[in-house]
Chains A and B, each alone.
Chain A
């Protein structure tokens, strides 16, 4: 559909809150609770496609219109979260586990879990895009949607899959983020800037670029705290973004 989805961050928060509901309130074990949350988030994303994006496609809405709608959706989701669960910080209520010491570094079990899940997700996305027919069709659509239509591909169906998978991954991201920090209604909004920075840095439209960009932005932000005050974290991310775009205007892997 070719637009920047400003509601991406709030789907991330939604995934985290749904996990919170199932694990902390309803007492489901954390892993199945997360799985349920991911499925529900994907389902809501598909509903949004039927209710909002599909009618917009039929009207051939421009990308500016779509961006503004997505900002509206973002605000709606964020306030829905505040309405349902309040504005304060929440936690999943998991038992605290001992960290693992590696020399002078302490890494918590949760952090190891987050890294593992992130790596697995990257491989799954790679497999999806390169090996499955639906994944190849997603790439075909992003290349040339008119030719995809002319090839008889049911474009609406492929877009629904893209929403479902994209927002399911957002939910996973939100759940993991909540695991190492906390959950609050603004988490999605605050994640949005570094996310856009990562995508632009990697090259817009390139999933592998987004992965590389995410790692670069994330590492740069955290490592900078060793020499600079933490308040400058985001500034460092954007400084790197500017430098890279000077050298490669279309991003690291952009074509």
Chain B
């Protein structure tokens, strides 16, 4: 088991957003979490990554309790996170963005850089370009690249397809599958549920901060109730 959440409760100052969620990600899996707006998907991801305070419950990563660990310590253990918005450093170049991804392990940067450029060859000729001047699709590659530099065992992606054209979304999910094939497990939060569940091994449906359904990606896609409620019929 790579990631295991037990009865996680978390939220902001005086409001619980996540109200007792248990789920798991196995080594090598792609897991998608779907659910309507405001169901707490993003908050759940931030809680795992130590950006939102855990109120109760337990989070284990790779056999270690990371419930109260600081984000930089979690990164050191091999987890990475791509936020939905503001996920690049716009005034830094592509190369500098990737370097920031390896800030805590500079010795691993060269190696990681090569791998990122193998996955995203589109970035090869643009390493000196300021990311703020690039297209949305290119920025997304930089955002994912930054998180991939240290070869994380688990990559958390918050709405990776948001703001991309259908063609770019297809391309993105192909890349995500190839990242997974290279040995990184993925946990994806998605509005674009069909696309994401198609490539996922398993999926969860979150509603009002609680787990409503869980199952294999394809079985969730065909589940009548899930289809009617969350996949737009």
Chain A interface residues (CB < 8 Å from chain B): 133, 136-137, 139-140, 142-144, 146-154, 255
Contact = CB atoms under 8 A, between A and B. Distances in A.
Interface residues of B, number: 26
Q: Is the interface of B mostly helix, strand, loop or mixed?
A: helix
Contacts of A142: 91
A152 B71 contact: yes
B49 interface: yes
B81 interface: yes
A139 B72 contact: no
A154 B74 CA distance: 12
14 contacts: A136-B99, A136-B100, A140-B92, A143-B91, A146-B51, A147-B88, A147-B89, A149-B51, A150-B49, A150-B75, A151-B147, A152-B75, A152-B103, A255-B132
A125 to B, nearest CB: 16
Q: Is the interface of A mostly helix, strand, loop or mixed?
A: helix
B90 interface: yes
A133 B89 contact: no
Nearest to B149: A151
Nearest to B87: A147
B92 A139 contact: yes
Given A146-B83, A152-B71, A255 B103 contact: no
Given A133-B99, A136-B100, A151 B146 contact: yes
Interface in B75-101: 75-76, 81, 83, 86-92, 96, 99-101
B125 to A, nearest CB: 21
Nearest to B77: A152
Contact of B96 (A136, A146, A154): A136
B88 A154 contact: no
Contacts of A149: 51, 71-72
Nearest to A205: B91
Interface string B116-153: 00000000000000001000000000000011000000
A137 B51 contact: no
A144 B96 CA distance: 13
B104 interface: yes
Interface string B185-221: 0000000000000000000000000000000000000
Contacts of B87: 147
A144 B89 contact: yes
B175 interface: no
Nearest to A157: B72
Contacts of A151: 75, 100-101, 103, 146-147
A154 B104 CA distance: 8
A203 to B, nearest CB: 12
Contacts of B100: 136-137, 140, 148, 151, 153
B106 interface: yes
Interface in B133-179: 146-147
A140 B91 CA distance: 8
Nearest to A255: B91
A144 B87 CA distance: 8
A143 B142 CA distance: 15
A139 B99 contact: no
A136 B104 CA distance: 13
Interface in B38-83: 49, 51, 71-72, 74-76, 81, 83
Contacts of A137: 100, 103
A149 B147 CA distance: 12
A144 B101 CA distance: 13
B86 A147 contact: yes
A158 to B, nearest CB: 9
